[in-house]
Amino acid sequence: MLKRVRTFVNCKLATWRAALSEMPDRYDRRFISHNRKVWRGYRTDRSGGEVLIEANRMGGCNVAMSYVASYLGQSERAKLVVFYKNLSDASKAIYESFADSFHRVNLQEYEAQVETKFRQVYPSIRSKHDLENLCVDGILIGDLVYDTYIRQFDMATVDLSTPEFERVLREGLGLLFQWRAYFKRHMVKAIIVSHGIYTWAGIITRVAVDAGIPAYLVQMNRVYRIDEAHGVLPYNGHVDYPAQFGKLSPDEQARARTMAKGRIAQRLKGERDVGKHHLLRLNYAATTGSRVLPETGRLKVLVASHCFADGSHMYGMSLLPDFYEWLQFLGTISERTNYDWYIKLHPDRNRWETAHVEAFAGRYPKFKILPEGTSHNQLVADGINCVLTVYGTIAFEYAAMGIPVVTASPWNPTMAYTFNVHPRTLPEYEHILMNLRDLHVTVDPDQVAEYYYCHYMDTGDDWLYDDLSGIYSDMLARDGVKGSLAYDLFLRQFDIAKHQSILATVERFVRSGDYCLRPVHFVRVPPNSNEVSLQGGKGQSC
């Protein structure tokens, strides 16, 4: 127990140091020294253009970017340019260890252009739907502005009348004009970002895709090649799950379903950290024998709330513009029904979000907020009849227990399967909600298992770190690997074979043209291989 507490404290300290310190700490310095040895002489020709790299503070992400960027720089004969708004000395030193130059994003030179365009588009934004569908010069930026405003100011929804909203919109316009101009003046061969759902990195991504320039989202557990077929967004690999699973042989499919069903069973028993690090938090403790939901004879509906500030447009457009508006819509529906309505707070919510849910329940008294930590198994035992979510993991979990789940987004992780109900329009959604007693869903356990396998098991989580799920579990949280501690963790695992394996994996993925890096792209170079070593020789160690 003491070891786990010490690990947790060290993780938090590493994160705080990364956020607050200007100077490189000991982990930064070790990684900088390592990079200078690893990448010395790797790229000899930089005449073919540029690869742009987004600066960020996440240590694990920077390890990943150093590999993808270095490979692209070599294959495209391009120099590596880091773009940033603000950059600490520590971060600059990290990027100098593998990149060539820096571009500071300065929107001041576009102020006149921004103001002209702002006066044109702002009057047209009369509603939240107008905002999320806002296109400027052929580029959709409204959803990015929407989510950036909510995230930046910790708001439950957008207030179009505030100076803060105007500022976010102006900045989005400035980024659009800046990158359009930059791509005209520079020969950009690829861009690399750490995220794609907010204006800072989302707009450059969409400008790049529009211009036919490869755009990669690179994280320590994921690499995506963002394209129009997936909504110009990351995280939309679920569109491909049936085809992805269909490429397995019949025997492989049977084994995959068996493994997935075993993992799901563990998950629903409350066992921790099965099916990768995405599922660390559990509310599937055993039933207690004491009812949480009273017996009333009425239909029992569970609403699984979302984090208001956590990217409501992550997968694309939903039936309602954000999670706050979704709850308000359900509130109005509740007043017209004779159901028992229950709401479960999201376990990863921000503190301020609790007050919003409590205020919501005050406005719509048919809603009862469930006690913190209420077991889903207990809710099922008490007779929950239906679950409502926008796109949460609860969609497959309750389906696995045979409970109907209705989503509120045509773009959601389970959209390719029929074990959930996916209304396509708001009127269709309203009709379903008003007639839940007539809702009948046939859940195919094989479909649920197929989804689980594709979403949580056939993933690229371990492309960079060995057993990333185990690392997250040991650290009790994901935050521990965001700071400079991520460099130390990587270097503990490093050897020449691992270095060669990562580069070969990146090459196979890039050459494949696939949307998401997965185990099918993994290359494992055995130790003492005669493959190319760190600096182009054989067997050389750093």
Q: Using DSSP bridges, classify how beta strands 215-218 and 223-226 pair: parallel, antiparallel or unpaired.
A: antiparallel
3-state secondary structure of 260: helix
pTM of the model: 0.90
Query: What stretches in the chain show pLDDT beneath 70?
Result: 1-21, 272-288, 473-482, 529-542
Question: Measured between alpha carbons, how far is 231 from 219 in angstroms, rounded to an integer?
Answer: 19
User: What percent of the chain lies above the pLDDT cut of 90?
Assistant: 79
| CATH class label, 250-457 | alpha beta
Domain ranges of the chain: 250-457
H or E element that contains 263: helix 250-268
List, in sequence order, every beta strand (DSSP E) within 194-294. Answer: 215-218, 223-226
Instruction: Determine the Cα angle at 436 with ends 434 and 437, to 5°.
Output: 120
The whole-number pLDDT of residue 3 equals 45
**Are the beta carbons of 367 and 334 closer than 8 angstroms?**
yes
| Percent helix / strand / coil, the chain, rounded to 5 | 50, 10, 40
Question: Measured between alpha carbons, how far is 415 from 436 in angstroms, rounded to an integer?
Answer: 20
Task: Kindly list the distances between the CA atom of residue 467 and the CA atoms of 62, 79, 277, 459, 464, in Å, as whole numbers in the listed order.
Answer: 18, 32, 10, 12, 9
The whole-number pLDDT of residue 470 equals 73
Contacting residues for 514 by C-beta, under 8 A, at least 6 apart? 225, 521
**Are the beta carbons of 328 and 370 closer than 8 angstroms?**
no
**Are the beta carbons of 419 and 393 closer than 8 angstroms?**
no
**Are the beta carbons of 276 and 315 closer than 8 angstroms?**
no
Task: Kindly list the distances between the CA atom of residue 491 and the CA atoms of 95, 149, 217, 277, 341, in Å, as whole numbers in the listed order.
Answer: 17, 37, 23, 21, 51
243-264 pLDDT per residue, tens? 999 999 999 999 999 999 999 9
The whole-number pLDDT of residue 22 equals 72
Q: How many CB atoms lie within 10 A of CB 223?
A: 28
Question: Measured between alpha carbons, how far is 152 from 145 in angstroms, rounded to an integer?
Answer: 10
Task: Kindly list the distances between the CA atom of residue 188 and the CA atoms of 79, 128, 185, 212, 416, in Å, as whole numbers in the listed order.
Answer: 10, 34, 9, 10, 35
Unique residue bearing structure tokens 């690893």: 38
Q: Provide the sign of the torsion angle of the four alpha carbons 62, 68, 70, 73, taken in this order.
A: negative
Q: How many CB atoms lie within 10 A of CB 436?
A: 18
Task: Kindly list the distances between the CA atom of residue 378 and the CA atoms of 52, 300, 348, 407, in Å, as whole numbers in the listed order.
Answer: 51, 13, 21, 22
48-98 pLDDT per residue, tens? 999 999 999 899 999 999 999 999 999 999 999 999 999 999 999 999 999
**Are the beta carbons of 423 and 429 closer than 8 angstroms?**
yes
Crossing angle of helices 445-452 and 250-268, rounded to 10°: 90
Q: Which residues pair with 225 in a beta bridge?
A: 216
The whole-number pLDDT of residue 481 equals 60
